[in-house]
Amino acid sequence: MYVQEDTYRHKGMRKGLVRILQEKGITQPQVLQAILKIPRHVFFDNALVEHAYQDKAFPIGEGQTISQPYTVAFQTELLHVRPGDKVLEIGTGSGYQSCVLLELGAEVFTIEYNQVLYERTRKFLPMMGYQPHFFHGDGSKGLPAHAPYDKIIVTAGAPTVPSDLLGQLKEGGVLVIPVGNNTTQKMFRITRLADKKLLKEEFDNFSFVPLLGDKGWGKSAK
Ligand code: SAM
């Protein structure tokens, strides 16, 4: 495992990707700046490196994917991360989304269900200079030991909104989660207001790998 070089060519391709995201409606300067800074190609297998700056999801092994940059940017915008926010990410995967959250100044707690990806990303991210708090386990139940959080982001498609996650939000806290069936999910932003009231907002359709685990689709999506 090693960190690949970041060349002028890669930086140029990142500028192109940021332009595409702006054309698709991403506006928050901090989010665009993070995507401009983080070398996405280092998360890719050698065979796929040439595709790293396309606005597409790609396989990262274990049947999982690194999310499409537009999806990462869209979910991150919905979260409105402020420096110092305590953010729980469910579905560490490649670690790319964690890096974006860290660039925005968040303290990131990230949990991954798949042991191989957990081990790989836990070793790889610090080599790039990024240090979230890594956890292995079923994030469909959140991470109660470190709750409450300012923000929770779920990067896999859930069948319903797990109530455990709502219970782990601070008052004023925000959960961003895709909810739907095995192929298509709608993006929701749920804000926990005073008196445990919830504000639920609905956005576009996306297509995520399934959220596994007790409050997801179970042990396997099949
Ligand atoms: N945020 C990731 C990134 O930047 O690469 C996206 C990864 S992928 C779209 C979703 C990830 O969620 C997969 O790595 C998958 O193993 C993980 N996952 C699925 N169910 C989970 C669960 N119950 N708890 C934690 N992680 C889960």
Q: 3-44 pLDDT, tens per residue?
A: 688 999 999 999 999 999 999 999 999 999 999 999 999 998
Tell me what pLDDT residue 182 has: 86
> Helix or strand or coil: residue 45?
coil
Per-residue pLDDT of 63-78, as tens digits, reads 889 999 999 999 999 9
Gap between the Cα atoms of 163 and 35, Å rounded: 31
Tell me what pLDDT residue 196 has: 83
Q: Please give the backbone phi and psi of residue 215, each rounded to the nearest 5 degrees, phi first.
A: -100, 10
Tell me, what amino acid is at 153?
I
Q: Which two tokens stand for residue 74?
A: 């869209």
Measure 8 CA to ligand 1 centroid, in angstroms: 31
Rounded to 5°, angle at Cα 58 from 56 and 61 = 170
> Helix or strand or coil: residue 175?
strand
Tell me what pLDDT residue 221 has: 53
Residues in contact with ligand 1 by the CB-under-6-Å rule are 64-67, 90-91, 93-94, 96-97, 111-114, 117, 138-140, 155-156, 208-209, 211-213, 216
In which region does residue 84 sit, left (phi positive, over 0), alpha (psi from -120 to 50) or beta (all else)? left
Of 145, 85, 83, which Cα lies nearest the Cα of 111? 145
Q: Give the pLDDT band of residue 207 (cuts 50, 70, 90).
A: very high
Q: Give the pLDDT band of residue 1 (cuts 50, 70, 90).
A: low
Measure 90 CA to ligand 1 centroid, in angstroms: 6
Nearest protein CA to atom 19 of ligand 1, as residue: 211
Class at the top of the CATH hierarchy for domain 56-206? alpha beta
To the query of whether residue 67 is one of the catalytic residues in this protein, the response is yes
Q: Give the pLDDT band of residue 212 (cuts 50, 70, 90).
A: very high
Tell me what pLDDT residue 173 has: 98
Per-residue pLDDT of 108-163, as tens digits, reads 999 999 999 999 999 999 999 999 999 999 999 999 999 999 999 999 999 999 99
163 burial via Cβ count (<10 Å: 0-12, 13-18, 19+): exposed
Q: Give the pLDDT band of residue 45 (cuts 50, 70, 90).
A: confident
pLDDT above 90 covers a percentage of the chain that reads 87
Q: Find all residues with CB under 8 Å of 71, minimum gap 6, and list them.
A: 57, 206, 208
**ipTM exceeds 0.95, yes or no:** yes
Gap between the Cα atoms of 44 and 49, Å rounded: 5
Mean pLDDT of 98-109: 98
Domain ranges of the chain: 56-206
Per-residue pLDDT of 47-57, as tens digits, reads 788 899 999 99
Tell me what pLDDT residue 222 has: 41
**Residue pair 53/41 in contact by the 8 Å Cβ criterion:** yes
Gap between the Cα atoms of 8 and 46, Å rounded: 18
Gap between the Cα atoms of 68 and 210, Å rounded: 15
Largest CA distance in the chain: 52
